[in-house]
Amino acid sequence: MSRRPIMAGVAVCFMGVVLGVAGKGMLYPRESESRNMKNLDGMWNFRADASPSRNQGFDQQWYKSPLSQTGPVIPMPVPSSFNDITQEKALRDYVGWVWYDREFFVSTDWRKHRVVLRFDSAHYYSVVWVNSQEVMQHDGGHLPFEEDINSFLTFGSSNRVTIAVNNTLTPHTLPPGSVTYKTDTTRYPAGYFVQNVQMDFFNYGGIHRHVRLYTTPNTYVDDITITTDIAVSKGVVNFNVDSGGSPGATSVKVEVVDKAGNVVGSADRMSGVITVTNPHLWYPYTMTTDTPAYLYVLKVSLVSSTGTDIYRLPFGIRTVHVTDSQILINNKPFYCQGVAKHEDSDIRGKGLDYALIAKDFNLLKWLGVNCFRTSHYPYAEEIMDQADQQGIMVIDESPGVGIDEDENFSNISLLHHMEVMSELVKRDKNRPSVFMWSVANEPRSDKAISEAYFRSVIGHTRSLDHTRPVTFVSDQTHTSDKALQFVDVICYNRYDGWYSDLGHTELIQLQLGTDLDATRVKYRKPIIITEYGADTIPGLHGDPSVSFTEEYQVEFLEEYHKLFDAKIGKYLVGEMVWNFADFMTVQGLQRVVGNKKGLLTRQRQPKPAAFTLRSRYLAMGNITSPTPSVPVLPVIG
Ligand code: BDP
């Protein structure tokens, strides 16, 4: 790690600390008879550390007093990225430690319970204090972290939570990046540095998701793992419950509850199998019926002398299998009618926004989409909840994007990547919508060094979950890629007619067809095109079409679609347009205020290509359903 001042701030805090949350459960906080919750969202006090070293906050121990006593603070909404909230360019582009704090009360009733402080995500490194005492650190931007904080609290009186968050990307973060110091003092002031990113999206920073306190009894349900299977007319629910705290549990009851509230199976053990007769299987969304996906609830009641802890986990009964040419959901072929997404929007950056989540899911269904990829990082749990409830299949991707430089393949990076996969699988393992893990997007998998790296990351992910396929998304070819050998499904990003032979839509079918057929011959695995797209400025026209016009985007997609149609039923098992909506990137000569490959603008208004895709997906119907649909014409809108 560089000894430059900005990195020193990171090194000081993280050296020698065991990071991550791999050792314990990470169940989504849910209220129940035994669990209370207090939301700490809202306006927090905020201060960016603008000192040249970015380390003044640690040097002066800003966590020791209210932040407002250390210097000027501004109100900052939580959740949100801090970047686009003010009119300050310096804050939009800020790199380093930012500090937040707020006061809160906990009732005296909570004294006898376990109290947990949970951040659903903060980008990227975080250090958290309660009443001036450090309670936890976390390394990574898109996954939750939590800690028991009883012993740090003052019950029945005011408490203060302080968090320092650093958005610096280094060669060993995911995504990786680097910092360059500009030393030519004739051109740059002393200490001037820039953050280099290796990915094509804005590096938003801050507290991006909910911050909550929740209680449990002192002996509590720490983790639940469910895998499901189907045997003739029975649903097989394999479960495992981990308890935490002390004293130990004296008994447990595990019940499967259907949508109507009926208990349809139960057990009195911490792990085992419950069979459900004539189960309602969880199926991907189908336009013909437009019914929500079927979710059961696993109700766990854990009894100890400290009380009974009750946790209700929604889950679906479904299977995923991969053959050499198909993905099977409930033993029926699945075709991914997809889009790749991003989580950002105006003003809030990557901050959780329920209105945006609802709008995006309505748009996904309007488009006839049954599948998306969480490009290029884990999405909010509230988004994943909607995918589970609405039956949208998800390729769940880690933040492993831009793994390009040799240092990004080092052992330090590998260990962190494996830790991130552990955290992601722990968080999302029970979600029926998640049908595949993606460990990375477009790494330099043509480098020899990538082979051992991806053997390890993919092998590690399989060892965590043997019920789902594992992949990474490649922009290499069947001849150059060193790691495709390890994946279950080949995922390719392709830009024929855009990043090569720009303007020549007439070449797309030939070039892509040759490429896919050769890949198929070599690997004999199913293939999904996980990205294809063309930047399009809304309202820009050209006939005959030229790049960046709305006409070009439509023509471009249509050429891909012709080739896809020729490969569906052979080995092509899905397609995903890049991108669902325009999104923000760093400034660059190829980007006119962000990436414009969206079917929708950043404000979620459709470009003509959205209608092209909608007609296609609605006409395709959905072959994976209890009663496979015949193609139907639009039923929505
Ligand atoms: C692909 C990347 C994606 C980019 C896209 C593009 O996976 O993150 O946004 O290209 O250039 O290479 O639009």
Q: Which atom of ligand 1 is nearest to the CA of 535?
A: 13
Q: Is 49 in the pocket of ligand 1 (CB under 6 A)?
A: no
Asked if residue 511 has pLDDT above 80, the reply is yes
Nearest residue (by CA) to ligand 1, atom 8, is 200
pLDDT digits (tens, 9 = 90+) for 160-196: 999 999 999 999 999 999 999 999 999 999 999 999 9
Band of the pLDDT at 573, cuts 50, 70, 90? very high
Asked if residue 634 has pLDDT above 70, the reply is no
Asked if residue 6 has pLDDT above 70, the reply is no
Asked if residue 356 has pLDDT above 50, the reply is yes
How far does residue 191's CA lie from ligand 1's centre (Å)? 32
Cα–Cα distance measured from residue 625 to residue 629, given in angstroms and rounded to the nearest whole number: 7
Q: Is 478 in the pocket of ligand 1 (CB under 6 A)?
A: no
Q: Is 530 in the pocket of ligand 1 (CB under 6 A)?
A: no
Q: Is 476 in the pocket of ligand 1 (CB under 6 A)?
A: no
- Look at 12-21, 182-191, 235-244, 495-504 and tell me which has the smallest mean pLDDT: 12-21
For domain 320-620, the CATH class is alpha beta
Q: Which atom of ligand 1 is nearest to the CA of 499?
A: 11
Q: Is 343 in the pocket of ligand 1 (CB under 6 A)?
A: no
Cα–Cα distance measured from residue 372 to residue 438, given in angstroms and rounded to the nearest whole number: 12
| Peptide bond between residue 175 and the one before it cis (omega within 30 degrees of 0) | yes
Q: Which atom of ligand 1 is nearest to the CA of 597?
A: 13
Buried/exposed 266-302: b ≥16 CB within 10 Å, e otherwise: ebeebeeebebeebbbbbbbbbbeeeebbbbbbbbbb
Asked if residue 632 has pLDDT above 80, the reply is no
167 close to 209: Cβ distance less than 8 angstroms: no
| Mean pLDDT over the full length of the chain | 93
Q: Is 531 in the pocket of ligand 1 (CB under 6 A)?
A: yes
**566 burial class (0-12, 13-18, 19+ CB within 10 angstroms)?**
middle
Which residues does the annotation mark as catalytic? 442
**324 burial class (0-12, 13-18, 19+ CB within 10 angstroms)?**
exposed
How far does residue 532's CA lie from ligand 1's centre (Å)? 9
Q: Is 582 in the pocket of ligand 1 (CB under 6 A)?
A: no
Q: Quick one: pLDDT at residue 43?
A: 98
In testing the pocket of ligand 1, which one of 199, 200, 341 has its CB within 8 Å of the most ligand atoms? 200
Band of the pLDDT at 555, cuts 50, 70, 90? very high
How far does residue 269's CA lie from ligand 1's centre (Å)? 48
How far does residue 161's CA lie from ligand 1's centre (Å)? 38
Q: Quick one: pLDDT at residue 623?
A: 56
Asked if residue 549 has pLDDT above 70, the reply is yes
Other CB atoms closer than 10 Å to residue 188's CB: what's the count?
13
Q: Is 404 in the pocket of ligand 1 (CB under 6 A)?
A: no
Q: Is 146 in the pocket of ligand 1 (CB under 6 A)?
A: no
Q: Quick one: pLDDT at residue 232?
A: 86
Q: Quick one: pLDDT at residue 633?
A: 31
pLDDT digits (tens, 9 = 90+) for 465-489: 999 999 999 999 999 999 999 999 9
How far does residue 492's CA lie from ligand 1's centre (Å)? 12
Q: For the chain, what are the domain ranges?
A: 37-167+203-215, 217-315, 320-620
How far does residue 200's CA lie from ligand 1's centre (Å)? 6
In testing the pocket of ligand 1, which one of 491, 578, 602 has its CB within 8 Å of the most ligand atoms? 578
Other CB atoms closer than 10 Å to residue 36's CB: what's the count?
17
Asked if residue 128 has pLDDT above 60, the reply is yes
How far does residue 581's CA lie from ligand 1's centre (Å)? 13
Nearest residue (by CA) to ligand 1, atom 2, is 200
Nearest residue (by CA) to ligand 1, atom 10, is 200
- Sequence-distant (6+) residues with CB within 8 A of 113 are 36, 150, 215, 216, 217, 218
In testing the pocket of ligand 1, which one of 203, 397, 493, 577 has its CB within 8 Å of the most ligand atoms? 493
In testing the pocket of ligand 1, which one of 377, 397, 401, 595 has its CB within 8 Å of the most ligand atoms? 595
For domain 37-167+203-215, the CATH class is mainly beta
Asked if residue 245 has pLDDT above 50, the reply is yes
Q: Is 390 in the pocket of ligand 1 (CB under 6 A)?
A: no
Q: Quick one: pLDDT at residue 624?
A: 56
Q: Quick one: pLDDT at residue 467?
A: 97
443 close to 410: Cβ distance less than 8 angstroms: no
Nearest residue (by CA) to ligand 1, atom 5, is 200
Q: Quick one: pLDDT at residue 21?
A: 41
Q: Is 496 in the pocket of ligand 1 (CB under 6 A)?
A: no
Asked if residue 2 has pLDDT above 70, the reply is no
**3-class DSSP state for residue 231?**
strand
How far does residue 402's CA lie from ligand 1's centre (Å)? 10
pLDDT digits (tens, 9 = 90+) for 29-58: 999 999 999 999 999 999 999 999 999 999
Nearest residue (by CA) to ligand 1, atom 4, is 200
> What does the pLDDT average to over 578-584?
98
pLDDT digits (tens, 9 = 90+) for 99-121: 999 999 999 999 999 999 999 99
Q: Is 342 in the pocket of ligand 1 (CB under 6 A)?
A: no
* Residues of the chain above pLDDT 90, percent: 89
Q: Is 148 in the pocket of ligand 1 (CB under 6 A)?
A: no
Band of the pLDDT at 287, cuts 50, 70, 90? low
Q: Is 597 in the pocket of ligand 1 (CB under 6 A)?
A: yes
Q: Is 442 in the pocket of ligand 1 (CB under 6 A)?
A: yes
How far does residue 104's CA lie from ligand 1's centre (Å)? 42
Other CB atoms closer than 10 Å to residue 251's CB: what's the count?
12
Cα–Cα distance measured from residue 404 to residue 536, given in angstroms and rounded to the nearest whole number: 27
Q: Is 441 in the pocket of ligand 1 (CB under 6 A)?
A: yes
Other CB atoms closer than 10 Å to residue 159's CB: what's the count?
18
Radius of gyration of the CA atoms of the chain, in A: 25
Cα–Cα distance measured from residue 213 to residue 26, given in angstroms and rounded to the nearest whole number: 14
Asked if residue 490 has pLDDT above 80, the reply is yes
Asked if residue 348 has pLDDT above 80, the reply is yes
Topology of domain 217-315 in CATH is: Immunoglobulin-like (2.60.40)
Cα dihedral 420/482/374/297 (nearest 10): -70
Q: Quick one: pLDDT at residue 285?
A: 79
Q: Which atom of ligand 1 is nearest to the CA of 583?
A: 9
Q: Which atom of ligand 1 is nearest to the CA of 376?
A: 8
Q: Is 493 in the pocket of ligand 1 (CB under 6 A)?
A: yes
In testing the pocket of ligand 1, which one of 197, 377, 442 has its CB within 8 Å of the most ligand atoms? 442
Nearest residue (by CA) to ligand 1, atom 9, is 200
Cα–Cα distance measured from residue 476 to residue 176, given in angstroms and rounded to the nearest whole number: 19
Write the CA distances from 608 to 8, 368, 539, integer angstroms. Answer: 49, 15, 10
